Amino acid sequence: MESLEQIKARIEAAIPEAKIELMPNPGPANQPSLLIDNEHARDIARFLRVEPALRLDFCSNVTGIDWLDRVVKKTVKVKTVVDGQEKELDQTTEEKTPGYLEAVYHLYSMTHKHGPVIIRLRTADRGDGARLPSLTPVWRSAEFQEREIFDLYGIRFDGHPDLRRILMWDEFQDHPMRKDYCEPDDYEWEPTPHDDVAEKAKQHYPLRPQLDGAEKITGQEETLKH
């Protein structure tokens, strides 16, 4: 299979207006990826699928990533005069990077038996209106997985044929895979309550005195009489 740099060059030759960035991966897997711009994402996806040398006709996996706002510290050398002498001193600055969400696609070729090629799409921010173009029209296998990302991360995929929750129930609020998600202790809409959920919910109901065995039996007898 061609290198990611060669694939990037192929895309840029076919779609000159596309913006593509090679993203290194410092992790043990060492799988770099291509960050592609949202405006041309579907055109790039179609090219990757039909280009004879690539034929990336199978999307095996789509996953979401939540990147929180973060502060990056940078240290640079600055020349300054100290006691009449010019010296180089370290100066640390802080740069705030706003958060965003990503959808990451792993692509393979069933025709050529090669892959994966990893592409990623990035939202403008982490707001409730975060949107990305759906790639389901290019790879049908992305349909349920984009729905899962919508459900758990809150990314709305424009052009998806059936975008609705797939794991959480319709009345559920928020998106559980967000890094700043806070689990509620009152599962009002929990369709299948479990012991630990019921225990958390107790604090939302009026306290009732615990009845001993005799009182319970007496209460049941009184109920039967009526």
**156-203 pLDDT per residue, tens:** 999 999 999 999 988 888 999 999 998 877 666 555 667 777 777 777
Residue 109 in any domain: the answer is: yes
Q: Judge whether 75 lies within some domain.
A: no
Per the CB < 8 A criterion, the answer to whether 158 and 136 are in contact is no
pLDDT at 137: 97
164 shares its domain with 200: no
CATH of the domain at 165: 3.30.460.80
Report pLDDT for 172: 86
Domain end position, chosen among 136, 152, 177: 177
Q: Is residue 78 part of a domain?
A: no
61 and 13 in a common domain: yes
* Same structural domain, 142 and 204: no
Cβ atoms of 133 and 103 closer than 8 Å: no
Question: In this structure, are 166 and 198 located in the same domain?
Answer: no
pLDDT in tens, 121-161: 999 999 888 999 999 999 999 999 999 999 999 999 999 99
The CB density around residue 203, as the number of other CB atoms within 10 Å, is: 9
Lowest-pLDDT choice from 45-54, 65-74, 192-201: 192-201
What is the phi/psi pair of residue 190, to 5°?
-60, 115
Shared-domain flag, residues 189 and 223:
yes
9-39 confidence digits (pLDDT tens): 999 999 999 999 999 988 887 899 999 999 9
62 pLDDT band (50/70/90 cuts)?
very high
- The answer to whether residues 28 and 134 belong to one domain is yes
The pLDDT of residue 189 is: 57
Strand extents, DSSP E, 53-187:
58-67, 70-82, 85-97, 100-109, 114-122, 131-133, 156-158
160, 177, 194: which is the final residue of a domain?
Answer: 177
Which of 3-12, 72-81, 130-139 is least confident?
72-81
- Number of domains observed in the structure of the chain: 2
- Better-predicted residue by pLDDT, 223 or 70: 70
User: Would you tell me how many other CB atoms lie within 10 Å of the CB of residue 121?
Assistant: 23
Q: Which of 7-16, 198-207, 213-222 is the least confident region?
A: 213-222
Report, as an integer, the average pLDDT of 42-66.
Answer: 97
Residue 87 pLDDT level (bands cut at 50, 70, 90): confident
Global pTM reads: 0.78
Domain-located, residue 24:
yes
For residues 145 and 212, state if they share a domain.
no
**Which band of pLDDT confidence, cut at 50, 70 and 90, is reported for residue 216?**
very low
Q: Are residues 215 and 153 in the same domain?
A: no
Residues 200, 140 share a domain: no
Contact, 129 vs 113, CB < 8 A? Answer: no
Mean pLDDT estimate for the chain: 87
Domain that holds residue 146: 4-67+100-177
Q: Is residue 88 in some structural domain?
A: no
Give pLDDT, residue 134.
98
79 inside domain: no
Residues 167 and 217 both lie in one domain? no
Residues 111 and 138 both lie in one domain:
yes
User: Does 138 share its domain with 220?
Assistant: no
Instruction: Look at residue 224 and tell me whether its pLDDT is greater than 70.
Output: no
Domain membership flag for residue 83: no
